[in-house]
Amino acid sequence: MNVIFCTSPFQVLVAREIARYTNLEFCGMYLLMSDDPRQKIYAEKMKEFCQDVCILYEENLLETLQNFLSGKTISSLFLASLDNPVALSFFNPKVMQLFTFDDGSTSMIVPNMYTQNQNRIVSSLGLTLGQIMNLSQNHFTVFEKTVLFEEGRQIPLCLDTKPVDFKRANNGQTLRVFLGQALGSVFDEEDIEITKYLTQKAIQDCGADIYYPHPRVAIEIEDVQVATPSKCFEEEIYDLLAEYEFVEVYGFYSTSFIFAKEIEGVKVEGYRTFLSSFESDILSNQGVPNKNLSSSDVCVDVVMPAYNASKTIEDSIQSVLNQTHQQFRLWIVDDGSTDETQEVCQKYLNDSRIHYKKLVHHGISQTLIEGVNQTLGDYVARIDSDDVWMPWHLETVLHPLEANPSLDIVGSRVNLEESEKKRMLKRNRQNHLYGETLWFQLAYRNLFHPSTVIFRKSVYEEAGGYQLGYDGYEDWHLWARMITKENAVVLNVITAYEQTNESYYRRMTFRARLAKTRGLSLEEVLEGEVR
């Protein structure tokens, strides 16, 4: 017996194509993942290509599963959700073959929950996710190319959802549709709230006529008609085109875009947010255009000091321009460079947000003083001309400052070099550094990498700003004066990477000075240094 296991309407569509391609006899299983009516509808649709179908509800799940499998011998398991514990509970590689198929965007977007967790044990037999993937004989895909498996194991399928009796409308009417989607974690209340806010904002921006909730995660949206479809969007689009000659489809990074964009009369456009910038960039390479959408409308002043930075500054500028938060003013202050730094910057000055000023060479502290003095708003961000921001940096760091008036300075983590595998937004709120712990550990090392920091200008001014005579540890000296036991946090989020490393010895003198203010010796600091 061949078992094909599904957990979403999209998976059912792919499963149907597998049945057509292989011409095998299947028993189907569908695990209901939400209360959306489409879940039950597509579970029933599996009966069109399966001899028998078992629908698994949360209640009596194990009992239903055992009764269905009783007396059956499974030779092959076809699985899309590669780490699904229910499916893997009865998978035995000694007597069964494993075949895999597409599970939505995870087939196209890397890194993802599969590629990043290869060593995670997912089976009662002790098998890791990587081992499960290695066991797959073939992977069936409806995409042009999947990144989960090497080409030799991929079997391409054609996903054809066009009804044989389809007749397109010819009335000149246009319908604007927004496809709902959960951004970030579906188990995180803050992410859900941010998703709701961004969805509402995107719907207003595109002027959507109707909102299609996601089959698994429904976000309640106000002031727009909410669809109650009986089909997933890959099939629903043809029903819409039978009523409207043109359909505009908006959303975040739904794979529905991939299929819809090829249909006559259909326009697709995504919204790139700090929770979806990586995914949006991947889909952009697939021909899906997107525009930036920020949760904040606040303009941030970005100060970038530079000295003989011609080899690195272009990447730094580009990373600012690539932010999901596009409300910024970039102030480039050149400390008397003798290389081509000015020439590199010149070509960006047609952007009204970018400003360049060249000084006589006086050192980094004077340069920063001049830079902050030019700023116009309430928030100041720092970035060095040899560092690069991830696309989500500004918005990620700005958000807690706007949400919490007691915070005056927020920073984040930094990588020493760019790694494609670390480009995804990662958050672990339990490991944020703040309060008395942060204040005390500041004596050990500069916990705020300058290129990750946003601070309130008012508090900067109260602290006396940057001061001359501290080149090499000018930022650390400023933080030490600005930070109290209540007003700062270092987020456990990677939002930037360094192109060059900061010198250790330039900071040693200041370490000794600051340690003394905490009642410590330099030797004690070095022995207890926090890594």
Closest Cα partner for 320 from 262, 252, 395? Answer: 395
DSSP character string of 20-80: HHH---EEEEEE--SS-HHHHHHHHHGGGT-SEEEEE-STTHHHHHHHHHTT----EEEES
The number of beta carbons lying within 10 Å of the beta carbon of residue 309 is 25
Average pLDDT over residues 437-441: 84
278-312 pLDDT, tens digit each:
889 989 988 999 999 999 999 999 999 999 999 99
pLDDT in tens, 92-142: 999 999 999 998 888 887 777 777 778 889 988 999 999 999 999 999 999
Q: What are phi and psi for residue 259, nearest 5 degrees?
A: -85, -40
Residue with tokens 């326009």: 267
**pLDDT tier, 423 (very low <50, low <70, confident <90, very high otherwise):** low
Ordered domains of the chain (ranges, CATH)? 2-156 (3.40.50), 174-292 (3.40.50), 300-527 (3.90.550.10)
Q: pTM surpassing 0.75?
A: yes
Sheet with 225-226: strands ordered across: 225-226, 210-212, 174-179, 246-251, 266-272, 290-292
Residue 420, pLDDT above cutoff 60: no
DSSP assignment of 489-527? EEEEEEEEEESSPPPSHHHHHHHHHHHHHTT--HHHHHH
Mean pLDDT of the chain: 89
- Regarding predicted confidence, which is higher, 102 or 427? 102
Residue 426: band (very low, low, confident or very high) from pLDDT cuts 50, 70, 90: low
Structural element, H or E, at residue 331? strand 328-334
Residue 450 pLDDT exceeds 70: yes
Identify which has the larger pLDDT, 427 or 326. 326
DSSP at 453? -
pLDDT at residue 349, rounded to an integer? 97
pLDDT band at 374 (very low <50, low <70, confident <90, very high): very high
> Tens digits of per-residue pLDDT, 330-369?
999 999 999 999 999 999 999 999 999 999 999 999 999 9
